[in-house]
Amino acid sequence: MAGVAEGHVIGVDLGGTKLLAGAVGADLAVVHRTNRPVYGLDQQELVQMIADAVEEICTAVDAPIAAVGFGIPCTFDLRTGIAVQAAHLPFRDIAFGDVMAERLALPVVVDNDANCAVLCEARAGAGRGASEVVMLTLGTGIGGGLVLRGEVYRGWIGAGAEMGHMVVDADGRPCVGNCPNRGCLESVASGSALVREASLAVARRPDTPLGHALEAGRELTGPMITELANEGDPVARGAIEVVGRALGVGLANLANIFNPQILVIGGGVSAAGELLLEPAREVMLERALAPNKDAVRVVTAEFGAEAGMIGAALLAREAAAGRDCGVRVSLPGRAAA
């Protein structure tokens, strides 16, 4: 497609609580962003909100848009293009790419949100230059992305790399959302787990900055916990350490299974930085096998919370240029290619 290399595409990252979308240039600069909550919407309302967000960006950017890439937290069947199930959103058995291509009258590509994030980090971020990259995105849940031998690995039919649902405690607490399992990494190391740990801890120690913030009416959220932890609050720091040590068990498993060069931690919880990663590395080094544990680097995502959006835009640019992007391309007025 002529002009794609210099033009704009739109990347959309849809999470369990919010949508982040932006128009992205060839240099990966974002020229317009929108951020919207997704609480309490049914499938039809969510699809409409997503379409509205993309149309807002198309209107704001005074230039043609070549394609739209979506990263959504679903398992996929690449044989049919169906988004089969989402743990934290009301998506089930929807041909999401085809639906959005018709609504937007633009070419559309769709992938798992963590696949988009790891693509971004492997191409241009913390995993740049590495052939084996594993990424966990810690948000409402935990997404997983794999780059193996330089290519995003999606599994046989596109539903692989759900590393947030590896079991780290066979008799553990039920996983959240639509996951039927117990003791998943997501249940102990996600943003939701961080809020739960902080809530339990502050109930025992209310006379702390975190307790005082709650008394003053602030909502207990991951960003608030991280903010107070960085200011030295002992309850917030303790909650992050608990989550970090649980994360370390998952990292040990991933180091042993994939022997990656780099383990990238992204998503909102990664804003805690070394407060999270130091205990995670400590546990990984205790539990993983040599030489895997000694060879791997554990780092935060360079693109932070925008990795999924940028990765979705990279997919869109490849699709618009006619290159094989590894996922189906949906075109308006036509069946998925």
pLDDT digits (tens, 9 = 90+) for 256-312: 999 999 999 999 999 999 999 999 999 999 999 999 999 999 999 999 989 999 999
89 and 167 share one domain: no
* Average pLDDT for 205-219: 97
pLDDT of 2 > 60? The answer is no
Interatomic CA distance for residues 66 and 59, integer angstroms: 14
* Average pLDDT for 25-37: 93
Sheet holding 82-86, edge to edge: 74-77, 82-86, 92-94
Q: CA–CA distance from 288 to each of 133, 255, 284, 292 (Å)?
A: 17, 7, 6, 7
For residues 253-278, one letter each, b for 16 or more C-beta atoms within 10 angstroms of the residue's C-beta and e for the rest, the string is: bbbeebbbbbbbbbbbbbbbeebbbe
pLDDT of 6 > 70? The answer is no
181 and 76 share one domain: no
62 and 151 share one domain: no
Interatomic CA distance for residues 267 and 143, integer angstroms: 9
Interatomic CA distance for residues 129 and 123, integer angstroms: 8
Domain contains 80:
yes
Domain contains 63:
yes
Q: Report which residue type is found at 223.
A: P
- CATH of residue 199's domain is 3.30.420.40
Q: What is the pTM of this model?
A: 0.92
Digit-coded pLDDT (tens) for 233-265: 999 999 999 999 999 999 999 999 999 999 999
Domain contains 336:
no
| Average pLDDT, rounded, for the chain | 93
Among 3-7, 101-105, 319-323, the range scoring the smallest mean pLDDT is 3-7
103 and 149 share one domain: no
* Whole-number pLDDT of residue 305: 87
* Whole-number pLDDT of residue 63: 86
pLDDT of 4 > 60? The answer is no
104 and 249 share one domain: no
* Whole-number pLDDT of residue 334: 67
pLDDT of 100 > 90? The answer is yes
Interatomic CA distance for residues 315 and 329, integer angstroms: 10
Digit-coded pLDDT (tens) for 103-144: 999 999 999 999 999 999 999 999 999 999 999 999 989 999
292 and 317 share one domain: no
279 and 210 share one domain: yes
For 61, the token pair is 């950017």
Sheet holding 65-72, edge to edge: 30-37, 18-24, 8-14, 65-72, 108-112, 329-330
User: Whose CA is closest to 57, among 305, 313, 317?
Assistant: 313
310 and 178 share one domain: no
Pairing type for strands 18-24 and 30-37 reads antiparallel
Domain contains 3:
no
Contact status, residue 272 vs residue 309, Cβ threshold 8 Å = no
Among 51-55, 84-88, 203-207, the range scoring the smallest mean pLDDT is 84-88
Domain contains 117:
no
pLDDT of 1 > 50? The answer is no
pLDDT of 40 > 90? The answer is no
* Average pLDDT for 46-70: 94
pLDDT of 3 > 50? The answer is no
Distance of CA 167 to the CA centre of its chain: 19
61 and 104 share one domain: yes
Which is more confidently placed, 90 or 242?
Answer: 242
Pairing type for strands 8-14 and 65-72 reads parallel
Range of the domain at 41: 8-112+306-330
